[in-house]
Structure formats: C-alpha cells, structure tokens
Amino acid sequence: MPAAISGDLAEVVAADMTGAVFTCAGCNHSGPVATLRVWEPAPGLVDRCPNCTDVILRLVRTPDRVFLCLTGATRLEIPLDS
Ligand SMILES: [Zn+2]
C-alpha cells in the first residue's frame, strides 16, 4: 500500500465517528451513524438503515483483528479534527 493512502486511512480509522454521516446504498437515505439501528444478537455488530432496514455495516472483532464491511453504504462522511 502506498504510504500516502496508508496515512490517510490511519487518520480515518482513528477519527471520532460520532459526527460521521452515512448514505444508504439501498434507499439513498443519509443520516448520522448514531441513528443506525443495531441488530442483536449477531456474531458481531450489524447496523441497519433507520429508513429501509438494509444492512449498512457489519463489524466483527477477533482477538487480533477487526473486520469491517461497509457494502451497504455508498458513502461515509467522517469529519476530521482540524
Ligand atoms: Zn436505507
């Protein structure tokens, strides 16, 4: 991975997601990540769109890795500290 993209990704992963905004791939609804509906029980976190209930993201933690799937979002807008 080129150093430039690696640095950008490191900044995004470390960012506070409180103010992040998602856009649903299913219905194009946009809203704060905090409004996603969490489905439990699941083998990890499954967050669904509050408008159409499509899966927006899945997050699974293992002892040494985190798996993040964002296929349900067309965009994730993350504010950076400036
Ligand atoms: Zn949706």
- Residues 59-77: tens digit of each pLDDT: 998 899 989 999 999 999 9
Q: For residue range 6-52, list pLDDT tens digits in order.
A: 777 777 778 888 789 999 999 999 999 999 999 877 778 999 999 99
Is the pLDDT confidence value at 1 over 60? Answer: no
Question: How many angstroms does the Cα of residue 6 sit away from the middle of ligand 1?
Answer: 30
- Please indicate, yes or no, if residue 45 is contained in any of the structural domains: yes
- Please indicate, yes or no, if residue 64 is contained in any of the structural domains: yes
Task: Return the closest-CA partner of residue 44 out of 56, 62, 26, 32.
Answer: 62
Question: How many angstroms does the Cα of residue 69 sit away from the middle of ligand 1?
Answer: 16
Q: How many domains does the chain have?
A: 1
- Please indicate, yes or no, if residue 82 is contained in any of the structural domains: no
- Please indicate, yes or no, if residue 16 is contained in any of the structural domains: yes
Question: What pLDDT does 11 receive?
Answer: 74
Whole-prediction pTM:
0.80
Boundaries of domain holding 19:
3-77
Alpha helices in the chain (DSSP H): 3-13
Question: How many angstroms does the Cα of residue 14 sit away from the middle of ligand 1?
Answer: 26
* Other residues' Cβ atoms within 10 Å of the Cβ of residue 59: 14
Number of residues that this document lists for the chain: 82
Task: Return the closest-CA partner of residue 73 out of 38, 40, 47, 42.
Answer: 47
Before 41, cis peptide (omega within 30)? yes
